[in-house]
Structure 1
C-alpha cells in the first residue's frame, strides 16, 4: 500500500499549504499596516509643529497652509498602494493547531470509514492462492469487506464444505439465502450443510428446506441426494431408492457420481430383499448433449480508453431461470482482448450445475481493476441464449459502466 500512502501524503501537503499560507500573508499584511500607522503618526506630528510655529509667529498663515499641503502630499505618497483591507488576526496558534489536527483527524476518519481492507483484499485476489487455507482466508476477508455479496458468501460456503467444516458452511449458506432469496440450489446446499453439522440428524427444518427446493426445482440434485442419504440412514430403503433414482435421472450421463449413486441404490435394494439381478432403475430419459458456446469478447472503444492492460476480465454464464451463481467462467486480462474463447460444460463451477442443465443462459463479461469476480467497473451482457441445438458464435462487447 506504499503508493496509496504516498498519494495520501501529497494530498496532506496540499491541505497544509492552505492552512499555513494565510500565516505568511498575515505577516505581510501586518507589516504594511504598521508602516501606514507610522506615516499617519508622522503626519500628525508635522501638523502639530506647523501649528506651534504659527502660534509663535514664526510662520504666516500662507506658510502654514503650504506646509500642511506638503505634509498631506507626502502622506499620500507614502501610503499609495497600501489599500490592503484590514483582516481579523487569529494569531499564529490557530492555524498551527489546525495544521496538526487535520492529518490526525483525517487519519482517524479514514480508519473508521475508509476502505483500506478492500484495497488490500484486491491486491491479494490479483495473485493466485498457494493453498486451500489461503483461499479460505481470502474469502473470509472478502465477505467482511463486502458483507452483501451473495457470490462471495456462496463460494465461502462451498470452500467450508470441501474442508469438512459443515457448521461454518451452514452459516455461510444461510447468509446467501438471505441475500439472494430462497433459490432451490441454495436451499439444497444449506440443508446439506445443516445435516452434516448436526451429526446426520434429520429435522423438520431440513424437511422444509428440501421440500421448498424440490418445489422450485423437482430435479434439484443436492436435495435429492440428501433425502436419499437421510432415508437410507433411517432404514427407509424404499424412499432412498426413489430419491436416488430421481437423482440419477437428473444428472448428466457423463457425471462420475452416477456410478456411486447406482451402488447406493443396489445396497438399498439388497436391504429390501430384492434379488441381485432385479432391475435397479428405469432407463433414464435421454440426457442433454454437452454445450459449448464460442464467445468473441471485445471492448467498446470508449471503454478501452479507461482501462489498463493488466485489469482482470471475467467471462461467465448464468442461467436465465436458476441459481444466481455463475454456471461456467473464465478469466482473462484486458491485454488479451479482443479474444475468442469457448465456454461450456467443461468450465462448470460445479459438476451438478452445467450449461446443458439449463435451457437458456446469459453471458456476462466484467472488467475489474481489483481482480474481483463479483464486482467491477465495466460490464457487457448478452441476450438470453438457447443452449439447445447448433451453437453459433456469440459476440460479447463490454460497453457500459457497471452500477453499484
Structure 2
C-alpha cells in the first residue's frame, strides 16, 4: 500500500527531524539572574485557613469602599460606554490626570495635569523610569534595606545596586554625598515616608539635604510614596520633590492601591517634562495605556466621593491595629527582641535576639499558625538575618494578639530545639 508506506516514511522523517532539533536560544541573563520574590512565595504558603499572616503588605479588604467603587464603574459606563471600552491615550485620561494633579497640589506640590502620567500601579511607574534612565552597568543607590520589587526592577535592568547607609530615621546625608562622589550613580531610589520594609520616615531636614546633594553632584531622585496618606500620628512631611534643588530631577511615584483598592492597578508618575516623555514612550512599548474603564471609574470616584474622608476611616482602623501589634509585641516577645514605632504606613520592623535567624524561625512559626517576612531579602548590602517585617493591616486587634502569641510560642520552641541551637540561638 504505497499511501501507507509514504505516510510511514513521512512520520519517520518527522520524528528524526524533531529528534535532531536544536534547542532554542537561552534566556536573557537578566531573566535568570534575578530571583522571584520570597514575599510572594510566603503569601502563597500562608493561604491555608487559620494562619495569622503578618507577611503581606495588603490593605484590609473589609475597608474597601465597594459601594462607592461599584457606583463609579456604573457611571463610567453610563456616561460613555464606548469611551470606557475603547483604546485611550498613553498618558492617561485627562480627568484622572487632573484629579491626581489637584491632590498633589493640595499636598503642597504645585502640579498640573501635563506633569502626570497614569500608570498600571506605581510599580509600573518605577519600571518606566528605570527603562528611561538605566543602562546595564549603571549604578543605582538605594536605602538599606529597601522595597524588594525595586531591587528586582533594577536587577532586570542590569543595574548595580549600592546600599546607602541608614539609621532609624533613614538616609544619612553625609554618607550619601560620599557615595555619590565615589560611585557616580545614575539615581537614588528612596521611600522616604513610612518606608517598606522598615516603616521609618525621613525627617524634613534630611530631605532638604538629599535634594541639595542631588542638585550639587548631579543625581536623579526617584521618590516612591505609596503609603504617604496613611499617617496615624505626627505631622506630614513635605515630599522630597517639593524641596529646593529637587524640582528638575525628581520622579515622584504614587498609587491608589492603598487608598482605593490594589485590584484597580492604578498609579501615577509625576516627573520633569523630558523624563515624563521618555517614560510615556516606554509605556507605549509596554502596554499602550492603562485600562480606560478603570481610569474613568477612578476619575468619577474622585469627583463624587470624599476620598479623604474614606482615608480617615482607613487610618483609624489601621492606627488601632498598629497599636494592637505594638502592645502585643511588648507583652509577648522575649528579652533581646526590638522593634520600631512607625508613625504611619503598614509595617513594623523587628529584630530578634543575637544569633537568631528569622528565616529559620519562619518554618517554626508557620507550624504554629503564624507568618511574617524575614528581613534578609530586603537588604541591598549584607543582610541582617535577625530582622523581620510585620504587617498589621489585614487582621483585627484580637487576631493580631493571637498571632503574636503564636509568634512568641514559635520563638520559645526555636530557641529550645537543636535546630535553633545549631543556628546559634540561645535557649
Q: Normalised by the size of structure 1, how large is the TM-score? A: 0.26
Higher Rg of the two aligned structures: 1
Q: What's the TM-score once normalised by structure 2's chain length?
A: 0.25
Where is the helix percentage greater, Structure 1 or Structure 2?
Answer: 1
Question: Which structure is higher in RCO with an 8 Å CA cutoff and minimum separation 6?
Answer: 2
